[in-house]
Amino acid sequence: MNLFAEIFVNSNLVFLKYSLLAGIFSSFAFGITGSYIVVRRISYIAGAISHSILGGIGFALFASAKYNLSWLTPYSGAVAASIFAALLIWFAEKYSKERLDSLLGAVWAVGMAGGIIFISITPGYIDPMSYLFGNILMVTKTDVIIIAIFSFFICLTAFLFQNKLIATSFDEEFLEIRGVRTDIYKLMLLIMTALTIVLMIRIVGIIMIIAMLTLGPASASRLSRNFFSMSILSVILSIFFVLSGIGISFKYDLPGGPAIIMTAGIFYFSVLFLSSKNFIINFIKNLFHK
């Protein structure tokens, strides 16, 4: 704990304090939205949205450098791109007969390609690596405030509409017969997913963000009996991954994002192993009996 006390007190480590706070605040949204993503089995949708964000970031960087639009930050580009991708996926699923996985592949790759092209034609040098894999040195005080506000509203929406969101995830067909507009709640979940992803882009980056959305909730679902406890546990796990990941990265001078994801991954695989231990033991026993 001394480590964390030092981070919060030492003014030379102010960037670490910001990324810790950003990580903790966004963990609330990650735990809750992630739980929906895991139970609905739509992590591939989250993957497509997160990768398409690079397109928005690239465009924002390019346009703000080229036309001197200082208000067009990479963050606003990311928000716009993620919401655009969520709407596109929702419309396509609802109205087009195109196979969803083909469309997601297209959103995924076109977003990345567009982002890299925009970054390459932007005047001056920009390292796309920090957007792809995250960089805890980039988190600012304004970012922390924006993240806290967004996270609060995502959690509030999830809380207010919890019954309808859970019911839509559990049994869409039944609710349609009851006259519930399930398409609206599906859109709500997609927008929540899009905004949640943006929150941790700075810390873990576009490529690995999907792990933050799924590993915590997937571990939590093996340890809980209802959705409420699953999402609470997911939030706690997400905070734990962020704290220990940043702690490890600081102590051993490792990149922050990958350290967080590694922690989450090791935890997930341990839970998976322990909860299927009996199965594995029996499997090995049977192997030797034959």
Whose structure tokens read 């465009």?
Answer: 59
Q: Pick between residue 133 and residue 161 the one whose CB is nearest to other proteins.
A: 161
Work out whether 3 is an interface residue with other proteins (CB under 8 A): no
Cα(184)–Cα(111) distance, integer angstroms? 25
C-beta of residue 56 within 8 angstroms of C-beta of residue 43: no
Cα(25)–Cα(149) distance, integer angstroms? 9
SS3 140: coil
Q: How far is the CB of 159 from other proteins (least distance, A)?
A: 9
Work out whether 180 is an interface residue with other proteins (CB under 8 A): yes
Label residue 129 exposed, middle or buried (CB < 10 Å: 0-12, 13-18, 19+).
exposed
Q: Pick between residue 122 and residue 219 the one whose CB is nearest to other proteins.
A: 219
Q: How far is the CB of 162 from other proteins (least distance, A)?
A: 8
C-beta of residue 271 within 8 angstroms of C-beta of residue 219: yes
Work out whether 227 is an interface residue with other proteins (CB under 8 A): yes
Looking at 57-65, 118-126, 221-229, 239-247, which segment touches other proteins (CB under 8 A)? 221-229
CB atoms within 10 A of CB 267: 17
CB atoms within 10 A of CB 285: 10
Q: How far is the CB of 169 from other proteins (least distance, A)?
A: 8
Cβ-based neighbours of 251, under 8 Å, separated by 6 or more: 3
Q: How far is the CB of 10 from other proteins (least distance, A)?
A: 41
Q: Pick between residue 76 and residue 229 the one whose CB is nearest to other proteins.
A: 229
Work out whether 219 is an interface residue with other proteins (CB under 8 A): no
Query: What does the block give as tokens for 19?
Result: 């990324």
Q: How far is the CB of 92 from other proteins (least distance, A)?
A: 17
Q: Pick between residue 8 and residue 273 the one whose CB is nearest to other proteins.
A: 273
Q: How far is the CB of 151 from other proteins (least distance, A)?
A: 20
Looking at 121-129, 156-164, 207-215, 242-250, which segment touches other proteins (CB under 8 A)? 156-164
Axis crossing angle, helix 141-160 with helix 182-199, rounded to the nearest 10 = 160
CB atoms within 10 A of CB 137: 12
* CA-wise closest residue to 221 among 30, 17, 28, 35: 35
Work out whether 224 is an interface residue with other proteins (CB under 8 A): yes
Q: Pick between residue 52 and residue 231 the one whose CB is nearest to other proteins.
A: 231
Q: How far is the CB of 34 from other proteins (least distance, A)?
A: 13
C-beta of residue 51 within 8 angstroms of C-beta of residue 86: no
Q: How far is the CB of 160 from other proteins (least distance, A)?
A: 5
Chain residues 160-179 in contact with other proteins, contact rule CB under 8 A? 160-161, 163-164, 166-167, 169-171, 173-179
Among 13, 14, 39, 191, binds other proteins (CB under 8 A): 39
- DSSP annotation of 88 reads H
Residues in the chain: 290
Site residues for other proteins per CB under 8 A: 39, 41, 160-161, 163-164, 166-167, 169-171, 173-180, 221, 224-227, 229-230
